[in-house]
Structure 1
């Protein structure tokens, strides 16, 4: 399946899953010699928890509008 075959909702879910996996890998990867500031780490953990609880973030359309992008 290609991205062009996805519905908007499927694409949003794919992006959400990818972002979540990326953030988790950054927080868990102890082999990397990088450290996050504690407040940034906490913000990311809080964001992941809100997502797991079913809370929505800022809609992509709103972010695009703020950045002057056509969505």
Structure 2
């Protein structure tokens, strides 16, 4: 069936179903069930510990400048 042959109610239903499917596909976590490598986990824990102790990271502006980006 083509859109031109649909009633307004059929078209509304099609749009609703399409939106619902799209939202559902965006809510899926692609990393679900995956394991973090031990070294990555340690890096994250170290970073969290440094942050909690008050250490500040590299400002975004500086990172952008080092990469040649305009911030």
TM-score w.r.t. length of structure 2: 0.52
Q: CA deviation at 1:62?
A: 1.0
Unpaired segments ≥5 residues, structure 1: 1-31
Q: Tell which structure's C-alpha radius of gyration is larger.
A: 2
Please give the TM-score of this superposition, normalised by the length of structure 1.
0.52
The number of residue pairs the alignment matches comes to 40
CA RMSD of aligned residues (A): 0.9
Q: CA separation in 2, counterparts of 1:34 and 1:66?
A: 32
How many angstroms apart in 1 are the aligned matches of 2:70 and 2:59? Answer: 14
**Separation of aligned partners in 2, 1:53 and 1:39:** 21
Could you list the runs of 4 or more consecutive aligned residues of structure 1 that deviate by over 3 angstroms after TM superposition? none
User: Which ranges in structure 2 are unaligned for 5 or more consecutive residues?
Assistant: 1-31
